Amino acid sequence: MLYLHGIGHFHPENVIDNALLESLDIGTNEQWILERVGIHTRRTVLDLDYIRKTKNQDPRGVFEASVYNNAQTGAKAARLAIERAGITPEDIGLVISGTCIPDNAIPAEAAGVASELGINALCFDLNSACTSFGMQIHFLDAMKPDALPPYVLVVNPENMTKSVNYNDRSVAVLFGDGSSAAVVSSTIVSPKVFSASFCQSKPSAWDKVVIPRMGHFKQDGHAVQGFAIRKTTDSLRALKKLFPGKDDHFKFVGHQANLGMLQTVCERADIPEANHWHNVENYGNTGCAGAPTVLSQHWDELAPGDYVAIALVGSGLTWAHMMLEVKGEA
């Protein structure tokens, strides 16, 4: 059992709206985008003029064009999580990070975030692309409580636009940047509890979603969309079976890939729109930070008796799910 004490999010200030994408002359417009992915706006760490002038044709340019690096955006999300947990950075005894697009091959992204926060603790990365948050929670939940420090910081700095080819409309319309962080504990009790978790992979499909080193994001969109819908639906059905009779309080947070995919899942798994929490329409696909940023934005709405089903899919191919249960007084 793993207790959630606080969660935080951060989205950079620069906005990529559909008008900007249309101005790039890549064969897209507002109607085309909304019909296919349902996304109005996205955030980016990149300078907007850099996108207009270069379309990020050479991704090596993103380091000079970025307003923030991963450590900085991860730390911004972490500060909110730590504040909500009612602790200080000095209380953190372990930092774990994961991201689809690390700034460096080494060291671990977690070390950069910890340095930004002034945390002096063990740091390492546990990465499975867009399912990283689910994998991190699953592995921590499986560890012996006395093997972990009282508070663990899980951080997912995800600045996906650095990997986008803005000449490729199928990718350009999807991605935005965001970071999430969570403070968890296996020994210090909180009303918010991860009471079930699961993760799995299909390595034979490893090449369906790829970001080459210093390259652009690419995927087999048709195959990945079908996989995402099937596995997310399966995850929700499995969690409903584990927690029967909770329909009125059963919330769903999915991987924020695109709005159409999520709506199809809701139809298949009988999730009413009122119980579907999402932010992809305003922030785009923010990789492994997507679902936890949604949860963070709804933090103040969590109430006793709520069951929040988090279902994730990602490169690898991987899938994960977990149940966040709110007990007693939230």
* pLDDT at residue 56 in the model: 96
**Is 177 found in the same domain as 55?**
yes
Against a cut of 0.85, is the pTM above it? yes
pLDDT tens figures, 109-156: 999 999 999 999 999 999 999 999 999 999 999 999 999 999 999 999
32 & 177 share domain: yes
Return the CATH number at 72. Answer: 3.40.47.10
Q: Which residues of the chain have pLDDT under 70?
A: 329-330
Q: Are residues 163 and 241 in the same domain?
A: no
Q: Can you tell me which residue has the tokens 């020994």?
A: 187
Same structural domain for residues 167 and 130? yes
**Which positions ≥6 away from 265 have C-beta within 8 Å?**
229, 232, 233, 236, 252, 254, 271, 311
User: Is 106 found in the same domain as 36?
Assistant: yes
Considering the domain architecture, whether residues 30 and 159 belong to the same structural domain is answered as yes
Structural domain that includes position 238: 192-326
Whether 179 and 68 have beta carbons less than 8 Å apart is answered as no
Question: Quick one: pLDDT at residue 329?
Answer: 56
How many Å separate Cα 227 from the centre of its chain?
18
Considering 185, 200, 233, which residue would you say is the last residue of a domain?
185
Give residue-wise pLDDT tens across range 220-246: 888 999 999 999 999 999 999 999 888
Give the total number of structural domains in the chain: 2
Single residue among 157, 185, 213 that ends a domain in this structure: 185
159 plus 201 within the same structural domain: no
- Which pLDDT belongs to residue 330? 44
> According to the 3-state scheme, what is the secondary structure of 228-277?
HHHHHHHHHHHHHHHCCCCHHHEEEEECCCCHHHHHHHHHHHCCCHHHEE
Q: In terms of domains, do 207 and 166 share one?
A: no
